[in-house]
Amino acid sequence: MSERRYDPTHDEWVTFATHRQDRTYKPATADCPLCPTRPGGPETEIPREHFEIAVFDNRFPSLSTTPPAPDVAGTDLVPVEPAYGHCEVVVFTEDHDATLASVGEARIRLLVDAWAHRFAALADDPRVQYVLPFENKGEAVGVTLHHPHGQIYAYPDVPPRPAREQRAAAAHRGRTGRCVFCDVVAQEIGGPRVVVEGSHFLAGVPPWARFPYEVDIWSRTHVGTLPGLDAAARDDLARVLARVLAGYDAFFGFRTSYLLGIHSAPVNVDDDERALGHLHLEICPPHRGGGKLKYLAGSETFGGAFLTDVAPEVAGERLRAAASTADVPA
């Protein structure tokens, strides 16, 4: 089964991809499908002995450009449609034991270019409306392949959370005539929640942080997408992201698990909707300190109302101190 079903009670689509039950699950290092193909060794997803960054189509995609017909018929109330879209894998390094925090600023800078290139290519598909690069890192968030990698999904509509951001941005613009994210950046610069302050990007614990040590990285100017960044801005994003990730590991004292997502303007939509989008990254570690994890419980899962037990100002101070002294590989 590979299909999308509409939920009329929440006005959103849910994707079913039952073939993903058979995807690779915690293979031994020698059997890692994301390592290079070594001479005399098994063929992996990457048919090269050496590489810097590799991008390829996911073998177990949730969305496909050639999706099968749905298994069930939809109704007027609950439409069903093929699960159209793109799912790509982005491998950050050939080093199986590295992390994005350890690969160095230069490699992250190359990754920013790779993200931007793939964003532009996927946005060229007229059936795509939203491109989402992301990384799931660490067993604490359920990762089943430990080789450092991320993914890029291209959706046929704007997913629920970015759609809520768009609606909130439209409401704020209607009230003030300004971009809500630009106003957030102006408020946060130099404040107690800032973690890393760059020339083009600002990283900080948002005042509304849903996770105890969430860090958002906002563009300081109104740029909608990664391809819209010039070279200097891409350099700065790499510097800021590298220091934030190094700061996490320095603060927690171990390789931090997290979810990282890049929110951008929608694509192939009208100019007004596209203009609402403001490029920003969200990094959400599940850790809350002392070896404890932040789980999504009843209030979060059923109410959508997040509860956290670390004040954003305290988290900002702690992460800022850690990031300022962390060893960031070049």
Q: Which residues are catalytic?
A: 149
Query: Is the separation of the CB atoms in 16 and 83 below 8 Å?
Result: yes
Are 174 and 167 contacting, i.e. CB atoms less than 8 angstroms apart?
no
Task: Tell me the HSE value of 11 on the side-chain side, using a 13 A CA sphere.
Answer: 5
SS3 content of the chain, % helix, strand, coil (to 5): 30, 20, 45
Gap between the Cα atoms of 133 and 128, Å rounded: 14
CA torsion 160-282-258-16 (nearest 10°) is 20
**DSSP codes joined into one string, 119-157:** HHHHHTSTT--EEEEEEEESGGGT-S--SSEEEEEEESS
Find residue 57's DSSP bridge partners.
Answer: 88
3-state secondary structure 232-283: HHHHHHHHHHHHHHHHHHHHHCCCCCEEEEEECCCCCCCHHHHHHCCCEEEE
Structure-token pair, residue 312: 């954003």
How many CA atoms within 13 Å lie on the side-chain side of 197?
Answer: 11
